[in-house]
Structure formats: C-alpha cells, structure tokens
Chain A
Amino acid sequence: GAVVSQHPSWVICKSGTSVKIECRSLDFQATTMFWYRQFPKQSLMLMATSNEGSKATYEQGVEKDKFLINHASLTLSTLTVTSAHPEDSSFYICSARPQEGQPQHFGDGTRLSIL
C-alpha cells in the first residue's frame, strides 16, 4: 500500500518551455503533498507544501511564479516549471502523506533536463 506515482520519469525540453509534472497517490487520499528538488549527490530540499483545495506554501527562496503547484484533488498534485531554463535542470521528487502524523511516501522522481 501507500503507492505514489510520479509522471513523467524523465523529460528533456528546450529552454523557455513549460513542463508539468504529476504526482498521484494511487491507493490513498492525500490532503498534503510535498515537492522536493534534489541536485546531484545532494540531499532533498523541500520546495513547497501542497494542500488540497488551497494555495501551496512555498519555502523561502522558491519562486512561486516559477514553480506553479496545483492540488485539485485528494490524489493529484501537479508542479509546473514555467519558462524553464538550464538552471532548472534537476531531479524533482514528490511525496504524499495520508494524514497528519503519518510518514510521507515518495514518488520515483522526475529527471528534468533543459537544453
């Protein structure tokens, strides 16, 4: 149980395009989902907390207009990287939490490469 699906797993696109990443909880409802960014050989850095039906809470230093988060249902959150540039290239990972106090369950990540 507690499976989180993230799609796509790998995307390459040109500079200036927008990229949408989906995060789905397959067998549970998640009122809260989290988006992380991981640079090579580094730890995960929390970008934002996504709450169903309300605006996301962004961590300090994360541009909310650059990284658009939508959590329209209890099983789906999306992260859109707008007008992506090479410096946005990274590994993005989402997680979902069934309820407060429960562990976060992670997707398999999306490797984003901007040319």
Chain B
Amino acid sequence: AQSVTQPDIHITVSEGASLELRCNYSYGATPYLFWYVQSPGQGLQLLLKYFSGDTLVQGIKGFEAEFKRSQSSFNLRKPSVHWSDAAEYFCAVGARGATNKLIFGTGTLLAVQP
C-alpha cells in the first residue's frame, strides 16, 4: 500500500540554524513527490516538487529537497531557518497517471526559537 511517513511530529530549531525534515514513502514505482507548508488556519502552499530528472530540487523560500530512490526518501532542507518558517510541513506522494491523487504524511510542526 502507498504511504508516506514523516517520523518527526515536532521539531524546534534556532533561528539561523540549518533544518532537515524527513520524509519516507512506500510506493510501487517512482511517484511524484511534493512538500507543502501550512500556516495555522490556512491552506497549503507548494514549496517544491519532484517529477523526474535532477534529484536535487530547489523550491521557494530557500528550501530544497533531495530524492533518494535507494532510501525511498525525499527530505526537505534549508541552510538557515527564519522565524517566519515556523509552520506545519507536509510531504506528499502523488500517483503518476490520470488520478494524481495525493497521499499526505502526518506532518511535521516546526517551531523556531529566537
């Protein structure tokens, strides 16, 4: 069965520190991979996506993610966190094909300390 695992429910980092949010997936083939961010009471904003090609993808707000097929992972990174990055982050897997339904991980809540 298809699934997405975000092992870290809650992470706290200091402003200016580096960040890595983990995401592992289970899927029969190479899926589409996404990272979304959600601020409290709002919808989701797409940070970045992987469809094919270069396994290191750059996104908005200084985020990047690396697809590692051998580890079934798609971890999100940022070299220097800003206080405005505090939010909930969701990794998602999308099926290739007509439906493109997304399966979301349980999310990682990021807190940023001054």
Task: State whether the Cβ of B17 lies closer than 8 Å to any Cβ in chain A.
Answer: no
CB contacts between A and B, total, < 8 Å: 55
Q: Is the CB of B101 within 8 A of A46?
A: yes
Chain B residue nearest to A93 (CB atoms) is B43
Question: Known: A44-B104, A101-B51. Is A111-B41 also a contact (CB below 8 A)?
Answer: yes
Interface secondary structure of A, over-half rule: strand
Residues facing A in B67-114 (CB within 8 A) are 90, 94, 96-107
Question: Known: A93-B43, A105-B46, A106-B44. Is A42-B106 also a contact (CB below 8 A)?
Answer: yes
Task: State whether the Cβ of A103 lies closer than 8 Å to any Cβ in chain B.
Answer: yes
Select which of A4, A34, A107 is within 8 A of B102 by beta carbon.
A34
Residues of chain B with a CB closer than 8 A to A89's CB: none
Task: State whether the Cβ of B30 lies closer than 8 Å to any Cβ in chain A.
Answer: no
Chain A's nearest CB lies how many Å from the CB of B24? 15
Residues facing B in A75-115 (CB within 8 A) are 91, 93, 95, 97, 100-101, 103-109, 111
For the complex, give the distance between the alpha carbons of A41 and B1 in Å: 24
Question: Known: A101-B51, A103-B34, A104-B102. Is A43-B42 also a contact (CB below 8 A)?
Answer: no
Ordered by A's residue number, 5 sampled pairs between the chains whose C-beta atoms are within 8 Å are A44-B44, A49-B101, A101-B96, A103-B32, A108-B42
Binding site for A on B (CB under 8 A): 32, 34, 36, 41-46, 49, 51, 90, 94, 96-107
Known interface pairs A43-B90, A103-B46, A103-B94; 16 further A-B residue pairs with C-beta atoms within 8 A, sorted by A's residue number: A4-B43, A32-B100, A34-B101, A43-B105, A46-B102, A46-B103, A49-B101, A97-B100, A100-B97, A101-B32, A101-B100, A104-B46, A104-B102, A106-B43, A106-B44, A109-B42
